[in-house]
Amino acid sequence: MMRIATFNINGVNGRLPVLLKWLKETSPDVVCLQELKAPDERFPEAALKKVGYNAIWHGQKAWNGVAILSKKEIQEVRRGLPCDPEDFHSRYIEAITYQKVIGCIYLPNGNPYPGPKFEYKRKWFKRFTAHAKKLMAMELPVLLVGDYNVMPTTLDVYKPEKYLENALFRIEIRQAYQRLLKQGWTDALRTLFPHEAIYTFWDYLRFAYERNAGLRLDHFLLSPLVADSLKKGGVDKHVRGWDKASDHAPAWIEIK
């Protein structure tokens, strides 16, 4: 079995103790991290190497940032999405490891709606969908993993009526997610839990974690060659309750 996880760490250096504790506890084979909030030179490569992980990363000072960790050799394939040379946000990195193509994504939040941030989210999503289509056409084992900043259905949000005008739940964004799935991708967690409310994010405000007022923002999209070997998955919800935790909990799947 191979365990692949995703974790929006919300500041990789400030929450390094949380990350290392979780890695020691669960020992995933591959991890996709988002919101590093660190420039490339401040990524904690040595600390991760010490606990058995090779890494590639695409950092950015104070904002964004994505990384892929692997217990095996990892080869970077791409950083950033094609088709917009003026987009300097560190939101996508792609690698080959364990004989699989893994894309780690941090899709824009898009709030407030309406506005330029929402339009940027729509354009980014369109570029990502075009890239995903090319990956699907290659007929390779591909996983597109990370924080999509999308609640795809009403089952993915504790109070849907509250989020109708929120960029995470706007109908345009949910439709964009469905268009992506129609290329042939499998939403791993929703496939494993077809009728269950399963969340990966709880706001710091209003005791959201304690009330389980959560959102499912972190997703694993699998190409057919990977989807056929999907066995298990879940969310390490308890990590959200740790001291100085991220507002996201790590999510994971296991494939044969």
Catalytic residue selected from 53, 98, 106, 209: 106
How far lies 82's CA from each of 22, 37, 87, 88, 96, in Å? 33, 22, 9, 11, 18
The answer to whether 29 is a known catalytic residue is: no
- Sorted by sequence, the CB contacts under 8 Å of residue 161 that are 6+ apart come out as none
Residue-level pLDDT at 86: 85
Q: What does the alpha-carbon distance between residue 135 and residue 29 come to, in Å, rounded to a whole number? A: 22
Residue-level pLDDT at 108: 98
Backbone angles phi, psi at 142, to 5 degrees: -125, 140
pLDDT average, residue stretch 44-72: 98
How far lies 211's CA from each of 83, 154, 207, in Å? 42, 18, 6
pTM (2 d.p.): 0.98
The answer to whether 163 is a known catalytic residue is: no
Is residue 28 over pLDDT 90? yes
Residues in the chain: 256
Catalytic residue selected from 147, 187, 218, 247: 147
pLDDT average, residue stretch 185-192: 98
How far lies 106's CA from each of 7, 76, 152, 196, in Å? 11, 17, 16, 24
Q: Domain containing 43: what range?
A: 2-255
Q: What does the alpha-carbon distance between residue 4 and residue 44 come to, in Å, rounded to a whole number? A: 20
Number of domains composing the chain: 1
Amino acid making up residue 226: V
Q: What is the CATH number of the domain that holds 172?
A: 3.60.10.10
pLDDT in tens, 92-122: 999 999 999 999 999 999 999 999 999 999 9
